[in-house]
């Protein structure tokens, strides 16, 4: 057995051991034993994925009783990359969960579901045929659903979120199953090697649409994202981190599997369709995140924005490759992969940071937080670094990925004036504008999230009495923040390794230069983050030295101000809340967000002119849920009421139905 096969077999064995441990361990030991075993599962997956990414071959053959070929798990380089990403998030989540799980989250059922969820996510990129892929996909979905419902008995909102998640997950599974069925019918096989058909044929077009709906639903693309703002906030924080940081990457892997492996060289409209959906998802997601005052809802919508950018890069790569802009297409595809890797690092850290805040305060409403920077320094530092990555600030992973995507779009737009390149020439500048707008809104969003939660004055007793979380939770946060910085400071080796997964000529697409910088030879762009740090230090050091010298020459003296300018008696109510901070954005994008406002005026003792109190309530709901899904659900509900009247319990009516059905069948058969 090869090393890859041994690693996969060890993952399955550790998963089974973790399930048995959760069933048999004492409640006092359950979290620690489950956390250790889940960490070992993730570490094994990380090593196995890294080996596959570096070019190792081999797999695990699983015989089955059905009259079909045995299942084969054998990840290639692309699958190895996503195994590594999923497992890396799994390590952070497992370490964190050992200290964070309590009450329903530490139940026997939850710890049985946790290894099932992790193993399922790691096996999806290892599948080599549609049957094993769908089986691993359902294992992943089952584990995540059980973890989400751990606290359903005490909170009705969890049960509602579980219904939405189950419905949307099965809808995605149906589309993916239908897509594989179309390819299997056209090709006559179920393995990925046999499923490759001509990209321009009608079965390929149908399969592409089905796959886009299926994998787009799991990757949180608009309009299939409606489960996200319900599920991620209600799930335990370590589960939210695993779902956002790892599970949605499985949807990204599915998109890459279709567009790069199964159906490469698709027509131009495929790329345009993916770019449109990706751009709309990025803009809508960051708009909703920017106006949200619920920290976990904010992070959930931000994930929709990030995945939109990933698919925007994938669509741009397909479009550019169709017009023989190979260098720009390779850069866009590598940028999409770097965005996925980067998102796994900073978004899992952000969700774990949100969990630390909830653990310390019991609050996730930004309007009731504040002052956590001094009370939770490790959490504040990790959340701050991850926020910089989410806002694409230099020397973080988010900046490098978006820089590479912008370079590919800018240079990809410089095509010759041929008729066939008109679509690309229009699409590239629009995509650049979308990225620029989302980057600005992302900066505003995370300035709001970090500034109000950690730097403002406490707005509740819980925030004022907050304390730092246990050491294992701090360790997970620190490792996540360090990964964000490492990916941002040393992008060259990472990008060069990622290029081997998708590019036929990786050295021509991306190269590592300097002390970890990245170069795009085909389009003449270079980025060296280490030099940016050195230049920043050269500018900052003289300023810092002058401040220190000035402070020594003029020692600090306490002076009573004769006039404080309103600052000496500042109260928390005088500072911005998350709601007031976002109010200008709500007004600017009123036509998109469609907020609902309710103003109640209470007058004094029957007077029309004296007002005792004015209460203003503003709610920003998901437009797609209220305008698209709710009408459809109401229609089905009315249909169900009508159909229920048909089944009234009368045996005579049921016999009549059977007789009519039999007549119809006989008529059809005779014809």
Q: Does the pLDDT of residue 618 top 80, yes or no?
A: no
Same domain, 404 and 354: yes
Q: Which helix (H) or strand (E) holds 602?
A: strand 596-603
Same domain, 592 and 640: no
**Domain enclosing residue 605, as ranges:** 582-619
Q: C-alpha distances in angstroms, 143 versus 111, 130, 238?
A: 10, 20, 14
Q: Which residues contact 498 (CB under 8 A, 6 or more apart)?
A: 81, 334, 337, 338, 341, 510
Q: How far apart are CA 584 and CA 29, in angstroms?
A: 50
Same domain, 333 and 467: yes
**Which pLDDT does position 104 carry in this prediction?**
61
Same domain, 523 and 389: yes
Count up the domains in the chain and report the number. 3
Q: Which residues contact 297 (CB under 8 A, 6 or more apart)?
A: 229, 232, 233, 289
Q: Which helix (H) or strand (E) holds 587?
A: helix 578-588
**Domain-embedded: residue 77:** no
Q: Give the domain-ending residue among 537, 552, 567.
A: 552
Same domain, 615 and 596: yes
Same domain, 328 and 460: yes
Same domain, 381 and 503: yes
Mean pLDDT in the chain? 85
Q: Tell me the mean pLDDT in the region 330-349.
A: 92
100-158-103 Cα angle (round to 5): 35
Q: Give the domain-ending residue among 552, 573, 598.
A: 552
The pTM for the full model equals 0.89
**Which pLDDT does position 39 carry in this prediction?**
92
Q: How far apart are CA 311 and CA 335, in angstroms?
A: 10
Sign, CA dihedral 175-177-180-182, equals negative
CB atoms within 10 A of CB 185: 10
Same domain, 442 and 387: yes
pLDDT tens for residues 296-315?
999 999 999 999 999 999 99
HSE on the CB side for 175, CA within 13 Å?
Answer: 21
Q: How far apart are CA 342 and CA 312, in angstroms?
A: 15
Structure tokens at 494: 């990472």
Phi-psi region of 348 (alpha: psi -120 to 50; beta: other; left: phi over 0): alpha
Q: pLDDT tier at 556 (50, 70, 90 boundaries)?
A: low
Whether the Cβ atoms of residue 53 and residue 84 lie closer than 8 Å to each other: yes
Same domain, 499 and 482: yes
**Domain-embedded: residue 113:** no
* Coil, strand or helix at 72: strand
Pairing of strands 525-527, 517-520: antiparallel
**Domain-embedded: residue 614:** yes
**Domain-embedded: residue 35:** no
| Nearest partner of 137 among 172, 109, 89, 112, judged by Cα | 172
Residue-wise burial string across 413-445, b where 16 or more C-beta atoms lie within 10 A, e elsewhere: bebeeeeebebbbebbeebbebbeebbebbbbb
Same domain, 595 and 653: no
Structure tokens at 337: 């992969």
**Domain-embedded: residue 214:** no
Same domain, 388 and 334: yes
Q: Give the domain-ending residue among 552, 568, 593.
A: 552
pLDDT tens for residues 454-478?
988 888 888 888 888 899 999 999 9
**Domain-embedded: residue 147:** no
Same domain, 547 and 630: no
**Domain-embedded: residue 324:** yes
Helix, strand, coil fractions of the chain, as percent rounded to 5: 75, 5, 20
pLDDT tens for residues 409-453?
888 766 544 444 677 778 888 889 999 999 999 999 999 999 998
Q: How far apart are CA 30 and CA 37, in angstroms?
A: 11
**Domain-embedded: residue 476:** yes
């Amino acid at each position: 057995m090869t090393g890859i096969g041994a690693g996969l077999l060890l993952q399955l064995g550790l998963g089974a051991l973790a399930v048995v441990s959760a069933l048999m361990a004492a409640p006092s030991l359950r979290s620690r034993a489950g956390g250790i075993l889940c960490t070992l599962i993730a570490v094994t997956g990380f090593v196995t994925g890294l080996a596959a990414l570096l070019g190792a071959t081999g797999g695990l053959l699983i015989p089955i009783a059905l009259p079909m070929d045995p299942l084969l798990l054998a990840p290639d380089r692309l699958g190895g990359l996503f195994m590594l990403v999923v497992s890396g998030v799994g390590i952070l989540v497992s370490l964190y969960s050992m200290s964070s799980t309590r009450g329903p989250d530490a139940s026997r059922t939850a710890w049985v579901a946790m290894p099932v969820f992790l193993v399922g996510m790691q096996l999806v990129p290892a599948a080599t045929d549609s049957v094993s892929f769908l089986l691993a996909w359902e294992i992943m979905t089952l584990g995540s659903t059980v973890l989400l419902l751990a606290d359903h008995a005490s909170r009705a909102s969890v049960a509602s979120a579980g219904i939405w998640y189950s419905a949307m997950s099965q809808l995605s599974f149906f589309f993916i199953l239908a897509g594989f069925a179309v390819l299997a019918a056209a090709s006559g096989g179920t393995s990925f090697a046999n499923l490759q058909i001509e990209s321009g044929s009608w079965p390929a077009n149908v399969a592409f649409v089905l796959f886009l709906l299926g994998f787009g639903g799991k990757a949180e693309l608009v309009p299939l994202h409606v489960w996200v703002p319900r599920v991620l906030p209600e799930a335990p924080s370590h589960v939210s981190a695993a779902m956002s940081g790892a599970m949605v990457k499985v949807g990204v892997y599915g998109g890459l599997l279709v567009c790069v492996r199964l159906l490469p060289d698709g027509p131009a409209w495929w790329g345009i369709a993916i770019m449109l959906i990706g751009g709309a998802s990025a803009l809508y997601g960051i708009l909703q995140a920017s106006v949200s005052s619920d920290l976990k809802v904010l992070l959930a919508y931000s994930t929709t924005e990030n995945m939109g950018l990933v698919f925007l890069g994938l669509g741009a790569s397909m479009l550019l490759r169709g017009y023989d802009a190979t260098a720009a297409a390779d850069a866009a595809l590598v940028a999409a992969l770097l965005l996925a890797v980067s998102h796994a690092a900073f978004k899992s850290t952000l969700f774990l940071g949100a969990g630390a805040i909830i653990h310390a305060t019991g609050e996730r409403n930004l309007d009731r937080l504040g002052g956590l920077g001094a009370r939770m320094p490790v959490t504040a530092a990790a959340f701050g670094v991850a926020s910089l990555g989410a806002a694409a600030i230099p020397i973080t992973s988010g900046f490098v990925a978006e820089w590479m995507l912008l370079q590919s779009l800018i240079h990809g737009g410089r095509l010759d004036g041929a008729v066939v390149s008109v679509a690309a020439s229009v699409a590239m500048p629009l995509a650049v504008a979308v990225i620029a707008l989302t980057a600005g809104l992302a900066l505003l969003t995370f300035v709001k999230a970090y500034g109000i939660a950690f730097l403002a004055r406490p707005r509740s007793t819980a925030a004022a009495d907050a304390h730092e979380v246990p050491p294992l939770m701090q360790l997970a946060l620190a490792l996540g923040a360090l990964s964000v910085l490492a990916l941002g400071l040393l992008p060259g080796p990472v990008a060069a390794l990622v290029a081997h997964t998708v590019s036929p000529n990786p050295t021509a697409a991306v190269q590592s230069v300097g002390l970890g910088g990245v170069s795009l030879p085909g389009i003449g762009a270079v980025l060296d983050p280490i030099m940016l740090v050195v230049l920043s230090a050269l500018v900052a050091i003289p300023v810092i030295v002058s401040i220190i010298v000035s402070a020594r020459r003029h020692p600090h003296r306490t002076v009573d101000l004769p006039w404080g300018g309103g600052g000496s008696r500042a109260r928390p109510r005088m500072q911005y809340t998350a709601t007031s901070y976002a109010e200008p954005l709500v007004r600017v994008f009123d036509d998109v967000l469609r907020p609902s406002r309710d103003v109640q005026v209470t007058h004094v003792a029957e007077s029309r002119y004296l007002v005792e109190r004015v209460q203003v309530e503003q709610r920003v709901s998901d437009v797609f849920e209220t305008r698209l899904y709710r009408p459809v659900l109401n229609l089905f509900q009315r249909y169900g009421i009508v159909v229920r009247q048909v089944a009234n319990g009368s045996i005579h009516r049921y016999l009549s139905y059977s007789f009519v059905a039999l007549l119809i069948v006989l008529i059809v058969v005779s014809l």
